[in-house]
Structure formats: C-alpha cells, structure tokens
Amino acid sequence: MSNQKSKITYSDSGVDIGKANDLIDEIKPMIKETLNDDVLSNIGGFGALFELNTKDFERPVLVSGTDGVGTKVKLAQQLDILEGVGIDLVAMCVNDIITSGAKPLFFLDYFATSALDNSQAKRIIKGIADGCLQSEMALIGGETAEMPGVYQSGDFDLAGFCVGIVDYDKIIDGSNISEGDAIIGLASSGAHSNGYSLIRKLIEQNSVDLDQIQNGEKLGKQIINPTTIYSRPVLSCLDNFEVKSMAHITGGGFQDNIIRAIPKGFKAIIDTNCWNLPPVFQWIQKEANIDSDEMLKTFNCGIGYVVIVRSNLKDAVIKHFQNADIEAYDIGFIESGEKSVIINHG
C-alpha cells in the first residue's frame, strides 16, 4: 500500500503566475503614459523609485492617503462597467490629499481577486491609469493578488495609496477661518463611491431594472458614474486665491466631512436650496423612501467637494471652477459658535 501523496502545484490551488506575468506585459504601455522624469524605476521591480524634487519648496511636507471603492465594485461587476472603478479608486485618494493643498506625486494600487481574469484586470487598471493622468501623477507600482477561497468566483476588490507634497507654510487646515467666510460647493458626478451598500440593497429589494432609460441614459450607467477628480481645478484655484479650508464630501456625507474642515468655535451653515438635487439622488430618495437628513448623512447629494474662502472672493472662485467645467455654488457660510454643521432645507 503506497502512502505517496499526489502532486499539487500552485496552479492547482487556483493561482496562475504565468497569467499574472502576462498581465504586467499588457498593462505596461498604459502605466508608462503616467510616468514622468521623477520616476526612476522600471515596471516590475520590487520597489518603486521616485526622486523627490523639492527645489520649489521651502519646507516640503509629504501628504499621503489611502482608500478603496467599497461595494461599488459589486455593481460595476454586475453591470460590466469596469473602467470607472479604476478612476473612482484614484479619485477617492487624491480628493482627500488635495484638501491639505498637496500636489499629487504618485499612486500605487492593490487589486485582489478570486482568479485572475486578464481582460477584467486590464480594464480596471486602465481606469486607474486614466485617473492618474487626470490627477497629473505617476502610477509607479501596484499589486495583483489571486486569493481563491477568500473571494468568491469572479469577485474582486481594490485599494489605493497616493502621496502628494505641499510647502509647510501653504498647508490648508482651516485654522484661519473666520465668521462670514463663504462655503463654495463643487458639483459631483453622482454618488461617487459612497452609499453603494444602500443603493445595491434598494436595487435588489425593489427589483430595479437598471436598463431603464431615465433622463436619456440607462439608469445603471448613471448610478455607476465615475467619481469626479478635483485635483487640477482645485490646485489652480490655490494658485490664484487664498483658500482657508477644503473638504472632500465622501463617506458620512455633509455632516461628517465639513466638520473636519472647520476649527473649534465655528459652525458651518449649509442651505440645500442653493443647488438642485441631481436626478440620480431624487431617484435614490424616492426608491429608498428616506428623508433629506438621512440622504445628507449618506450621500454627497450633488456636492462632491467644498472650498471655504473670504466672502468677497466667492464670486471669483465660483467663476474659476465654472471656467474649468465644474459647476460651483454658494451653498453656505461660517458662523461663530459651537463646532457643528447646520443644514437648512428652507
């Protein structure tokens, strides 16, 4: 009787190293597009080398951020609209670090899946590269992980990490906010990358037809619209105007994010009548049967980013963003008082 064990290879366990190497070769051209003279390493090395050029900075400070796309990846998979989640991944990281006034330098991604599908992965990574081009930063590294048994068949998840740079004296932290300052809201492109657990639940619960046409476009496409990357127009704004504070309206909606942008002793007064609730949010509110306060705690409701400036600058700042093809609105002001965000529905 033989006790000899059967041979098991890595590919038998569900991990295909050859396929991963093929993917690297396929994505090299799109990654190369994002690189600049500060990137010293070749794609495929163990570590990514980036030469930090500080000649324009008196006291350079690095600003880092990391994030994911959340359960939006499930809806993207269901709809087979995959390129957008790569843009989402970059946007969620970059929109965070620019609130400090940082110029994005480089980005790394982590893509994990049950079994590598090169066609799927290539579409997702193309979106990441496109997001990096929009942000004017280099995609200098990443990791593709096959984890059968951790992820269900066909499932994938994304995480990202970015680094930016800002001069110490130009860090934006809200410390010089004063009463009467104006709060400018920049339009979002939709739900961005937040609230998708609720969206997916209401789609399932109400058996929503995502192919139905609303406002001239399939509903599914509207719901999955990629997150706006605010990097270029925001950094251009900083070059031209004194900005006191900024907030990325992400998970937690208005309450949780604007309060992070104001110091003790001040409150933000927001008037929701200053902009129209976009159709996709009207649909979500109706389908989910939730009130306006709950919407504002969960979603950006049409405002993806906030800039706080002196009141006498607000018209010029709004015009700046509109010239950059981003709708901007005067949505509120700063008052003295206990630190809070007060939302008025009119």
Q: What is the model's pLDDT at position 153? A: 81
Report the C-alpha gap between 70 and 101 in whole angstroms: 26
Report the C-alpha gap between 113 and 118 in whole angstroms: 11
Please list, in sequence order, all residues whose beta carbon lies within 8 angstroms of the beta carbon of residue 136, skipping any fewer than 6 positions away. 104, 231, 232
Report the C-alpha gap between 195 and 207 in whole angstroms: 18
Closest by CA to 188, choosing from 267, 257, 108, is 257
Pair 283, 212: CB distance under 8 Å: no
pTM, two decimals, is: 0.92
How many Å from the N-terminal Cα to the C-terminal Cα in the chain?
84
Hey, what domains does the chain have and what are their CATH numbers?
Answer: 13-170 (3.30.1330.10), 182-344 (3.90.650.10)
Q: What is the model's pLDDT at position 106? A: 97
Strand partners, 165: 62, 103
Per-residue pLDDT in tens (0 to 9) along the chain, 346 residues: 556 666 554 455 455 566 667 777 777 888 888 889 999 877 667 888 999 999 989 999 999 999 999 999 999 999 999 999 999 999 999 999 999 999 999 999 999 998 888 888 999 999 999 999 999 999 999 888 888 888 888 889 999 999 999 999 999 999 999 999 999 999 999 999 999 999 999 999 999 898 888 888 889 999 999 999 999 999 999 999 999 999 999 988 888 999 999 999 999 999 999 999 999 999 999 988 999 888 999 999 999 999 999 999 999 999 999 999 999 999 999 999 999 999 988 6
Report the C-alpha gap between 25 and 119 in whole angstroms: 13
Report the C-alpha gap between 336 and 332 in whole angstroms: 14
Q: Is 261 exposed, middle or buried (0-12, 13-18, 19+ CB in 10 A)?
A: buried
Q: Which two tokens stand for residue 124?
A: 């997702």
Q: What is the model's pLDDT at position 85? A: 96
26: alpha, beta or left, given left = phi > 0 and alpha = psi -120 to 50?
alpha
